[in-house]
Structures are given as structure tokens and as C-alpha cells.
Amino acid sequence: MTSTSFDTSLITDTSLTVQATLTAQHLINGQWLGEAVTGRMNPARPDELAALSPSGSAEDVDAAITAASAAQPAWAALPAPARGAILIAAGNLLLERQAAIAEDLVREEGKTLAEAKGEVKRASDVLRFFGSLGWAATGEVLPSGLPDTTITTRREALGVVGLITPWNFPIAIPAWKTAPALISGNTVVIKPAELTPLSATHLARALQDAGLPAGVFNVVHGKGRIVGDALARDPRIAGLSFTGSTKVGLGLQEILNARRARVQLEMGGKNGVLVLDDADARKAAQVVAAGAFGLTGQACTATSRVYVTPGIRPAFLEALVAEAAGYNPGDGLAEDTRMGAVVSRQQFEQDQAAVRTAVERGATLLHGQYDGDPTGPLFLAPAVLTDLPFDDAAVTEEIFGPVVAVLEVADYEAGLAAINDSRYGLTAGICTDSLALATDFAARAQAGVVKVNRPTAGLDLNVPFGGVKDSSTNTFREQGRSALDFFTWGKTVYTGV
């Protein structure tokens, strides 16, 4: 896979082997196309090229949708077990290629090698899980009130679906949207994130090498305002699944709703954890730190606000600062790095600005920084803020970085109210030894996912995932068998004898 042209000012090694290895292209109707004109630099090594990719146009999207439309009837007609066998084979290929894919992922996204290997394994598991569902029953046989009549239900594919995926899980999220779409008999046009084109290319290669027919899975790289907009507006796209910012997601929803197409949105989060006096301070700090600083805090499920009751506050803060000190930021390929680089210069500056302005408003910074080198590697120490008002921007607005705010609440009820006082409702957590309070919290927390004594980040692939409020459309869930609901529609069949 090579490009026909590229901007050599973007790269430090111009050998053809390196160029080919790092080049992503569109995949349209089984053909790798497009000139690689956009360079992506390694956030841990700003002078090192991580990937090259094309910048797609509306015409590229049209060609991809045309190919997907032509391929869809035959793909849907293929028996589901045969479709599943291809997904399983692709998952196996990802696992065989895990080491190389993970290194590419680290270089273009910034996370640690251990996190990247885990993500590739997750993508493999997702493909194999949904592939296995090719053998599962998808309908029901129901009794009828009419004589000599049998009622059955069927699930039918939507047709051609569009996928728009983010940079923070650049192979896992494309996989967990693609797999349920394909096993259901749909064909796909995906727009991966601009910052991470190579990770999505590895997924496309695995599917193609596993024998996926041409046109069933198509990739168009490029800017959201061009490629994403064209996907959303094309009447041949029967449904669009998006993960990204709330602002962009709600804009896409308006476009899709206007033409009565199906839309699935997973958007922002401002995930809170309540730490009660009966919790173990050290264990609670470990739970919060893993949720806040793991993955460099660049997850929609990351912990970003913590409410603590007075009795545990001093011990918890001391333990959390000690945990934060252990998350040394650095090059994700280095063995001793526990927290990788921030994904981009823009995100790095945004994270620092969030911490700096909070301090200027009176917050106490117990650990962290907001004056990193604006030209060097994008390494940002985890930040622990306290002494903020409940309505401070650092408490209410998503930062998407390794920044956590800790606030005091009088008791459990006050803490639960604070957790729920947010425009977002993706994940929420509680640290307590009380089964009664944990059960009550699970029932009353306004979030799609509740964690008890566990980090808010981290999800199992076989269970539903999604949020409420401005975190989601709250209509269809991702992952697990529930993911099939978005990509299919129901049909009821009456058969008389």
C-alpha cells in the first residue's frame, strides 16, 4: 500500500519502505486509493512522522456509498454464519499482528504500549464476539390468536450505514461499530479520526485479508466537515453511528432527523465518583487515579470530578496525590512510562489552559502542571485540583485530559445530588463498603453505566454501553447483543396453513 505523492517536509525518513508502512489510504470497493497529503506526527516525538493519509472529498464519499450500495444485497444474502466466519478470521489476524499494530497506535495516538496492545486485543475480541453471533438465533416464534397460524419475527439489515469514529480508541471503536453492522448484513462506509488514520487502516487490512468482499467495508479519510457531512446528508445512508463531541453529535442528529434516518450518538462525559467515609482511602485513590489518569484521561468514561465526605477527605487527597505522582508521563514505547502523551498540540494546550484558569479562579493545585513546553513532546503530568466551587468550569465541562477535581460534600445524599447535577450522564462511580448505599446509588445515579469500587473507565464488550442526557441519544446501546438493535429493523411474519 503506497501513496502517489506526499509532502516530504512532513517526514524525517523518506525511504520508500517507511513511506509505505506509514501510509493510510481510502478503501473504496476493495481498492486502496488517494494521495497521502496529510502528515501525522508522533505526539511523544514531535519530529517523527507517525502516519500519512489522504484528505477525502464528497466525491470520495459518493464513490464509497455507491460501492457499498452495490455490495449490500449479496452481503445480506450470505448466510450469517459465513459473514461471522469472516469477522472471526479478521479478529484472528488482528491478534497475530497485535505487536506491530500496537506500536503504530502508540506512535500516532500517544498511549502506552500496554494500553495499545490491550486495545488491539479488544478489537480482536469484538470481531470474534460478533462473528460468533452469526450462529445465534435472531428472531422468535410466537403464538397467534388465529387458528392454523404461526407468527415469527425477523431482524433485517438497514442497508448502508455510516460510521464516524474518534481518535482516542482508534481501532477498538471502529471495530465495535463495524462488527455488529456487518454481522447484521449491512455494508459500511467509515470516516476514521484524522489524527489516527493508520489504526483504522489496520482494521481494514484485516477485514480485507480475511476475505471480506469488495465494497462491503469502505474507508474514507478526511475532515469531518467534508467527509462526515457528506455521509450524514446522503439519502443512501440508512443509519449513522457517531462517537465524538456533544456539539458535533447534536449537529449530525439534526441532519439525520431531518431526513428520518436512524442515528446513534455517543458523546461527551463528565464522570463523577462519590467517595464515602467508610471506604478505604488508598483503594479509593487507586480507583479514581486509574479512571482519571489511565489512557492519559483521554476517554469519554474517564473520572474527572470526585466528591468526598469530610471524614475521608484528608486521607483520600494524600493518597490520590501519591497515586498521581506514580503516573509518570512519557513516550508510550518506553517500558517505564505509565501514562502516555497527550494526543495533539491543541489538546495539550487545552488541558493546560483548563488547569491554569482553574488556579486563577482560586483552585488549589495539589499535583500537576500548566506550563509545559509548548514546542516539545506532549507530556503532561496528571493534575489534582481542589477548593473549587461546584459550578466551576473544571467541574462542569469536559476537559478530556488527565485532570480531576476533588470537592467535599456533607454526606451521601449531597454527594449523589452532586453526581447527578450535570448535563452529562455517561458513567458514575461510588467507593463504599456499604452494600445498601451501593445498591441505592446504582438505582438513583443518572448515568448509563455505574461502577461500584471500580474505575469509571473500562468496559466489557459483551454488555450494553451508552449514556443519558447529553452523553447519548439514549435510544440504542453499543456493544453486546444490544448493539445489533441499531443496525437492524424488526419484521413480523404471519404464516397460515
* CA torsion through residues 71, 76, 79, 82, sign: positive
**Which three-class secondary structure state does DSSP give residue 405?**
strand
Integer Cα distance of 345 and 110 in angstroms: 12
Task: Answer whether 344's CB lies under 8 Å from 378's CB.
Answer: yes
How is 184-203 classified by DSSP, letter by letter? TT-EEEEE--TT-HHHHHHH
What is the β-pairing status of strands 45-53 and 38-42? antiparallel
End-to-end CA distance of the chain: 57
Amino acid identity at 266: E
288: left (phi over 0), alpha (psi -120 to 50) or beta: alpha
Burial (CB count <10 Å: 0-12, 13-18, 19+), residue 360: exposed
Task: Answer whether 36's CB lies under 8 Å from 74's CB.
Answer: no
Task: Answer whether 117's CB lies under 8 Å from 101's CB.
Answer: no
Name the residue with cell 501519591.
Answer: 322
For residue 343, how many other CB atoms are within 10 A of its CB?
24
**Which three-class secondary structure state does DSSP give residue 32?**
strand
How is 108-128 classified by DSSP, letter by letter? HH---HHHHHHHHHHHHHHHH
Residue 300 catalytic?
yes
Taking alpha carbons only, the member of 366, 330, 280, 347 closest to residue 114 is 330
Taking alpha carbons only, the member of 3, 1, 62, 14 closest to residue 38 is 3
Task: Answer whether 310's CB lies under 8 Å from 276's CB.
Answer: no
Catalytic residue among 300, 381, 407, 418: 300
Task: Answer whether 303's CB lies under 8 Å from 336's CB.
Answer: no
Burial (CB count <10 Å: 0-12, 13-18, 19+), residue 472: buried
Task: Answer whether 70's CB lies under 8 Å from 186's CB.
Answer: no
Q: How many CA atoms lie within 13 A of 362 on its CB side?
A: 6
Q: Quick one: cell of 293?
A: 489518569
Q: Quick one: cell of 353?
A: 489552559
Which amino acids are annotated catalytic?
Answer: 300
